[in-house]
Structures are given as C-alpha cells and as structure tokens.
Amino acid sequence: MRKLIAGNWKMHGSLADNEALLRALCGGLAAGVHADVAVCVPAPYLAQVQALCTGSPVTWGAQDVSAHEAGPYTGEVSASMLRDFGCRWAIVGHSERRQYHGETDEIVARKAQQALACGITPIVCVGETEAERAQGDTEIVVKRQLAAVIHVVRHCISEIVVAYEPVWAIGTGRTATPEQAQAVHAVLRAQLRAASASERRVRILYGGSMNAGNAAALLAQPDIDGGLIGSASLRAHEFLQIIAAAS
C-alpha cells in the first residue's frame, strides 16, 4: 500500500507564500512520486490550492469540517462546500480543535460522518496528552477516541484514515520513538480490524514533530502508513525529503 504524506498547514500561509510553497512542491514531485501526497490548508485558500494543484500529484483537503450538513451555523464550513473545491481529505478531531474548541469524541465522529457522506476521506486524529501517558492511559484514550468514530461510521470504516498524534509531540520537537509509535499503531490496527468486515487496510499515519531527520525510521515501522506533518510541511524542501522517505 502506498504511504500517505499529508501536510497540516494549521493557521499559516498567505496567497504569496502558498504559491511559492506549492510551486516548489509540485516541481519537486514532477519527476515522479511513490507516495500519496496531500496538503490540508486553511479554508480560504482552497480555491487557490485547487487552481495550483489540479493535474499535479498533490491532493488537498481541509483542517476541519462542520458536524452539520447545512443551516444556521455561523462560521462553519460544510463538507459539501469542501467538495465544491475538490477536497479529497478533511482532518477531524485534531488535538488543537479538541483542546481549544471543545470538540468531544461525539462531535468528531459526526464530523467524520459528514465528510464521508460527501465522498471526503476524514483523517481522524487521536492521541494522548503527556499526563495521560504518564498515568499509563495511552491505550485507553486512543481507543476511546477511535471507538466513537467507529460507532458512527462502522459501515464504511475502511474509508477513513486515522492519525495517531501524541499531544505531547505536536509542535514540540519531541517525537515519539518509532517503537512507541508502532506500539500504539498496533493497538489501533487491531481495533480497526475487529470493527471492519473489509480486508482493506486502513491507513494509520503518525503525526507529531515528524521531520526529514526522523521520518524514515518512523515510516519503516510495520503499522505506520504515512505521516501527518505540521511545521515541516511549510518548508517545501523538507516536506519533499519526508515524501522521499515514504517512497
């Protein structure tokens, strides 16, 4: 199975910076690429990214999607709106949304459901905080977070992507060791297998300070099917190195 390398730009970018980044990225991939590549960008830039990446190996998506289909939800962006701009992916349940926007497991599950209903693949983020890991609760936490999504989208669970992102590793420069990440990925793999009748393998990405230096070792683990990359995805050269490590 091809690995998926997805950039999460978070709240970074400008029309000028995005264009330079995407031109460098598409140019760097022109000679061929053996992984699936995505960028998840701030919603106002979706039209720009669609214009610049159509016909390239780079697919694009959003960093969030509304849990509602349509209606009086000021500020929200629906899955069908994302579909209008060619989005292939939507991150749901990123820890920054759980932490700063009060998203519960149930809200995250409804977001995944909305994305799937519009043919958009949700990248479902799960991950424990440092305190939860210290208490030995990592497995309980990530399984609870994933179970909420499985409960709602069980019939099409093979259509999702999961991202294991330990909260303590996000944006901190502290990466989970390949062994720590693999151990959690194996837990999630078993949970997905038990939930799905399909033989299709669900991709499980690792995220949290993945960079050009540590990507190869993480991606070599048997249950790590790609990466969700924050800050390193804003530097075309480094993002290309990570993509190369996945190929």
Contact segment (CB under 6 A) with ligand PGA among 18-26, 110-118, 131-139, 228-236 equals 228-236
Q: Select 89 or 195, whichever has its Cβ closest to ligand PGA.
A: 89
Q: Judged by CB under 6 A, does residue 13 bind ligand PGA?
A: no
- Identify residues 192-221 at the interface with ligand PGA (CB under 6 A): 207-210
- Identify residues 144-183 at the interface with ligand PGA (CB under 6 A): 165, 170-171
Contact segment (CB under 6 A) with ligand PGA among 104-112, 140-148, 178-186, 224-232 equals 224-232
Burial of 14 (0-12, 13-18, 19+ CB in 10 A): exposed
Per the CB < 8 A criterion, the answer to whether 202 and 162 are in contact is yes
Q: Judged by CB under 6 A, does residue 93 bind ligand PGA?
A: no
Neighbours of 19 (CB within 10 A): 16
Query: Rounded to an integer, what distance in angstroms lies between the CA atom of residue 129 and that of residue 150?
Result: 22
Q: Of residues 228, 240, 243, 245, which one binds ligand PGA by CB under 6 A?
A: 228
Q: Select 61 or 208, whichever has its Cβ closest to ligand PGA.
A: 208
- Report helix angle 178-195 to 138-153, nearest 10: 30
Can 94 be counted among the known catalytic residues? yes
Q: Judged by CB under 6 A, does residue 61 bind ligand PGA?
A: no
Tokens linked to 163? 């991202």
Q: Judged by CB under 6 A, does residue 90 bind ligand PGA?
A: no
Query: Rounded to an integer, what distance in angstroms lies between the CA atom of residue 52 and that of residue 68?
Result: 29
Query: Rounded to an integer, what distance in angstroms lies between the CA atom of residue 65 and that of residue 78?
Result: 6
Per DSSP, the chain holds a count of helices (H) and strands (E) of: 10, 8
Q: Residues 96, 103, 132, 165: which is the catalytic one?
A: 165
Residue 123 DSSP class: E
Q: Select 78 or 175, whichever has its Cβ closest to ligand PGA.
A: 175
Q: Of residues 33, 53, 231, 242, which one binds ligand PGA by CB under 6 A?
A: 231
Q: How many residues bind ligand PGA (CB under 6 A)?
A: 13
Q: Residues 94, 103, 128, 185: which is the catalytic one?
A: 94
Q: Judged by CB under 6 A, does residue 62 bind ligand PGA?
A: no
Neighbours of 226 (CB within 10 A): 30
Residue 8 C-beta: closest distance to ligand PGA, Å: 4
Helix (H) or strand (E) holding 220: none
Residue 121 DSSP class: E
Query: Rounded to an integer, what distance in angstroms lies between the CA atom of residue 47 and that of residue 45?
Result: 6
- Tell me which residues are annotated as active site: 94, 165
Contacts to ligand PGA by CB under 6 A:
8, 165, 170-171, 207-210, 228-232
